[in-house]
Structure 1
Amino acid sequence: MCRDIPEDQCREQPQNFVLQCLAQVFSKIGDALADTKIVLPWLLGAVGAPVFLVGFLVPIRDSLALLPQILVGGVIRRFAVRKGFWVAGSIVEGACITLMAVTAAAGFSGVVAGWTIIGLLVVFSVARGVASIAAKDTLGKTVSKGRRGRVSGYAATLSGLVAGGIGLYLVVTPEAARPDWMLYAMIAAAGGSWFIAAAVFALTKEFPGATDGGRGIHDIARDQFKLLIENRALQKFLIARTFLISTALAGPVYVSLAQRTSGQTLDNLGWLIVASGLASAVSASVWGKLSDRSSRLTMALAATVAGALGLAVLATMVFVPELSRHIGFYAVILFVLAIAHAGVRIGRKTHIVDLAPGDQKAEYVALSNTIIGVLLLLLGALVAALLAISFEAVIAVLSTFALLGAATAFFMEDVQT
C-alpha cells in the first residue's frame, strides 16, 4: 500500500525498502565502530592528543553535520534524482574515518595526530550533513508513510548486534589477544562500512521528482524563514527537539565519568560498546514500529526515560557512591541512555518526514537541522561551562532538559493520522 508516493515509485518500494535498510545497516555499523561519544575519545587518548580535544568531538560531528543543511536542502531540490548526494557523502565519510585510522597506525602522535583527527572529523561532518538531507528526501520519495520508521529501526537493530559482538570480543578476550592496534583496525573497518553503504544505496531505484530550479542563497533563506514563521507544528517540533539535544550530550559526560574511575583500557571500551550496541539491537525495531504509529509519543516516552535515568544516576552517586567506581555501573547507564536516545532519534526523524508535505520534505529537514545545529553549539558551550563546576551539575541540567522535551513532544501534533 502506497499512501503518499507515485504509483511508478510504489512498484519499486519492496526492493527500495530492502536496499535502504541494508545501506543504513552499514552506515550505522560505521557510526558504532567510530562513535564520537565512545570510540574516538579512546583514539585521541591512544595517540596522546591533548585532552581538551575530546570536548570538540560531539559538537563538531553534530553541529557541522546540521548547520549547512539550510543551503544544501535547496541545492538538492535542483536535482530530480537525489540519491547521488547520499552516495557521494557516504564515500567521503568512509575516507575520513579510514584516514583517522591510518594517521594513528602510521605512528603520528600528540598535537599533530590530534588536530589531524579533528580536521578529518570536520570534513566527515559536512559530508554527513549532505548525506542526511539526501537520505530523508530519498526515503520520502521511495518508501510510503507508515513504513519509514522501520527502515531506521531495522537498520539500528542489525548494526547494534554487530557492534555489540565486537565489543564483546574486547571484553572476553585476554589482553594478549587484543593489542592496541585493534582500535585502529576497528576504526578502519568503520570506514569500510561507509564504502559498502554507498555501493548498496546506489542501487536504489529513484524516479525523478519535482524541482524548484536554480535558487539563490537569499531566496532559499527567505523561503526557509517564511516556512518557520508560518508553520506552528514545525515550531513545536523544533522546541521539543531543542530540549532533546540533551540525550546526545549526556553520553560523553557518562563516558568521562567512566574513564576517570575505571581507566581507558580496551576491555572497558568493550563494555561500553556492548552496552550501546545491545541497546540499539533490543530497542530500535520497537521504536521504529512505535514511531510509525505515533512519532510524538515515541519522542515523549524516550525522553522521559533519559531524564529519569539522569535523576537516578544523581541519586546513586549521592547515596551509593561505591557503585560509581565500577565499569558495570556505567555500562548499564549507557545501555539505558542508548535505548532512550534511539527512541528520540527515530521518533523525531519519522515525525519531520511525515510532517512535511510532498516534495517539501528536504526543506523541512534542512531548516530543522540547521536551527538545531546552532543551538547544539550553544548548549555544548553550556555543558562545557557546567563541567568546570561538576559532573553532577551537568547531569542535573541535561536531565531537566530531557523531561521538558518529553512534555513538549507529548503536546505536538499527531502527524501519523
Structure 2
Amino acid sequence: MTDSSTTLERAHQLLTAEDDGRACRDIPDEACREQPANFFTHVATLACTKTGDGLIDPKLVLSWLVNALGAPAGFVGLLVPVREAGSLLPQLVSSGWIRSMPQRKWAWAAGSLVQALAVMGIAAAAMLLRGAEAGIAITALLAVFALGRSVCSVSYKDVLGKTVSKATRGTATGTASTLAAAGVLTFGILLATGILPRTIPVIVAVLLLAATLWITAALLMARLHEEAGSTEGGRTPLSVVRENLTRLTTDRQLLIYILTRGLLTTTAIAPPYIVMLDQRDAGYSRLGWFVIASSLAALLSTYAWGRLADRSSRWVLILSALIAAAILASTATLAWIMPNASTLYLMLPFCLFALMIAYQGVRLGRSVHLVDMATPETRAAYTALSNTIIGALLLLTSGFGIIAQAYGTPAVLALFAILCALAAVSAFALKEVQSDD
C-alpha cells in the first residue's frame, strides 16, 4: 500500500467514521475496495462544479451581468426558470440512452464539457453584445448550459449510487459543497470590498474561470473507478416516458417525495424576490454582500446537512422546510411593516443567508433521499421522472412575477412560506430510507 493510499484512507475514515459498522452498503464489492479514491474523486469533482455554479449564479451574478449589459428587465426574470427547468425537463427522455451506458461517468463528463462551452459562450456574448441582443444570446446559451446540466444530473445519482457507500453519500456531497462555498465566499468578499471591481470585464474573467472548473471536473470524473452496470432499460424515449409515468400510480413514496420536492422549489426561486426588496439599484449595488450571504450559508451548513442526511434525509427535508417557512414569513412581515426603511435594507442579506441555509438542506436532503430510496434498477428512472415533473413545475413559476406585480413582493414571499410549511407536513409522510429495516 502506497503512502498516498494510506493518506486517502485515513482522510476518508476521518470524514466518514461511523460506529455502527455500515461500511460499503448498497454498492458492489469491487467499488468497496475503491472507496477512499472514489469518495475524494466525487468530492473534488463536485467542488469544482459547485464552485462554478456559485461564480455564475443566475440569481445574482448573471442577473447583474444582464442588467449591466442593458438588456430588457424581462431577461432577468427568465434566467432562473431557464436554468432550472432546462436542467430538469430533458431528463425523462435522456434517461433511456444514459441507462444503456455500462459506465455513466462518461455521460456526466460530456455534460460537464457542454456546460464549460456554454459558459465560455456567455463570456463572449458579454464582451461583444449589448442590449436585447446580449439578453437573447445569454438566455439561449444558458439553455444550452442547462441541457448539459440535465445530462449530469440524471447520470450523477446513478454513478454516486454505484461508487460511494450508502452511509457516506451525504458526507461526500456536503464536503464538496463546503469547499465550493469557501471559494464562492472569497469571490463575494473580493466584490464587496472593491478588490474586484463590479465591471463587465471582471465578471467575464470570472465566467472563464468557472468554465475551467467544469473542464477540470470532466477530467476528474473520467478517472473515477466505476464498475460496468446493468444496461437494461436503454430503450426508445417513448417507452421510457410511458414506463416511468406509471410509477406515480404504483409507488406512493415516490409520489410523496415529488410532492415535497415540488413544494420546496420555492426555496430556489425565492432569493431574487428577496433581492428585489432592496429597491436601491434593484439590489445590484450590493452584489458582493448577497454573494457573501449565499456562499457563507453553504459554507457553514452543507457538511452538517450532509452528515444529518446520511442518518435521516427525511428529517433534513422537514427541518429545512420549517426553517425556510419561518424565514420567508419573517421577511415578508418586515417588508410589510417597514417597506422603505433602512433597517430592512440592512436585514436583507441576513434574510438571504438564513434562507440559503434552508436551501442547502433541501438540496442535500432531496438528493440523498432519492438515491437511498431507489434501488440500483430504479435509480435512473426515479431521478429522471422526478426531475422532469419538477422542471415542468418550474416553468410555471413566472406566474409568481405576475402576483408580485399585482400584490407586491411581500405577498409572494408569504405564499412561499405557506408552501414550505406544507412541504414540512408532506415530508413527515416519507419513510426513513436510511434505516435497514
Same fold (TM over 0.5): yes
Map Cα deviations across residues 93-123 of structure 1 (whole Å, 9 max, x no partner).
01111211121123x1001111000000111
Partner of 1:207: 227
Is 2:333–2:410's contact at 8 Å kept on the other side of the alignment?
Answer: no
Partner of 1:2: 24
How far apart are 1:222 and its partner, in Å? 2.1
Alignment of 1:83-122 (within 5 A): 83-106=105-128, 108-122=129-143
Query: Within the alignment, does 1:257 sit opposite 2:274 as a pair?
Result: no
Q: Return the letter of the residue paired with 2:311.
A: R
Return the match for 1:386 from 385, 397, 403.
Answer: 403
How far apart are 1:75 and its partner, in Å? 1.4
Query: Within the alignment, does 1:59 sit opposite 2:81 as a pair?
Result: yes
How far apart are 1:320 and its partner, in Å? 3.9
C-alpha RMSD of matched pairs (Å): 1.6
Map Cα deviations across residues 282-338 of structure 1 (whole Å, 9 max, x no partner).
000000001111111101100111111111112212334455666532211111111
Map Cα deviations across residues 312-368 of structure 1 (whole Å, 9 max, x no partner).
112212334455666532211111111000000100000000000123211111111
Q: Return the letter of the residue paired with 1:114.
A: G
Q: Return the letter of the residue paired with 1:261.
A: R
Map Cα deviations across residues 3-36 of structure 1 (whole Å, 9 max, x no partner).
1111111111210110011000000011000001
Report % sequence identity. 39
Alignment of 1:67-216 (within 5 A): 67-106=89-128, 108-173=129-194, 179-212=199-232, 214-216=234-236
Partner of 1:229: 249
How far apart are 1:384 and its partner, in Å? 2.1
Q: Return the letter of the residue paired with 2:115.
A: E
How far apart are 1:411 and its partner, in Å? 2.2
Q: Return the letter of the residue paired with 1:198.
A: A
Q: Return the letter of the residue paired with 1:372.
A: I
Instruction: Count how many residue pairs are aligned between Structure 1 and Structure 2.
Output: 412
Alignment of 1:347-358 (within 5 A): 347-358=365-376
Partner of 1:408: 426
The CA distance in 1 between the partners of 2:383 and 2:195, in whole Å, is 46
Q: Return the letter of the residue paired with 1:414.
A: E
Return the match for 1:35 from 52, 57, 70.
Answer: 57
Is 1:142–1:206's contact at 8 Å kept on the other side of the alignment?
Answer: yes
Is 2:119–2:207's contact at 8 Å kept on the other side of the alignment?
Answer: yes
For structure 1, which runs of at least 5 residues remain unmatched after alignment?
none
Query: Within the alignment, does 1:246 sit opposite 2:263 as a pair?
Result: no
Query: Within the alignment, does 1:282 sit opposite 2:303 as a pair?
Result: no
Map Cα deviations across residues 235-274 of structure 1 (whole Å, 9 max, x no partner).
111111111111111111112222x2255556x1110111
Partner of 1:375: 393
Q: Return the letter of the residue paired with 1:21.
A: V
Partner of 2:287: 269
Moved more, 249-258 or 313-322: 313-322
Map Cα deviations across residues 359-410 of structure 1 (whole Å, 9 max, x no partner).
32111111110111111112x1331221221112211111110111111112
Q: Return the letter of the residue paired with 1:42.
A: W
The CA distance in 1 between the partners of 2:399 and 2:70, in whole Å, is 27
Q: Secondary structure at the match of 1:38?
A: helix
When residues 71 and 174 of structure 1 are mapped into structure 2, their CA distance, relative to the original with a 3 A threshold, is: closer
Moved more, 22-31 or 188-197: 188-197
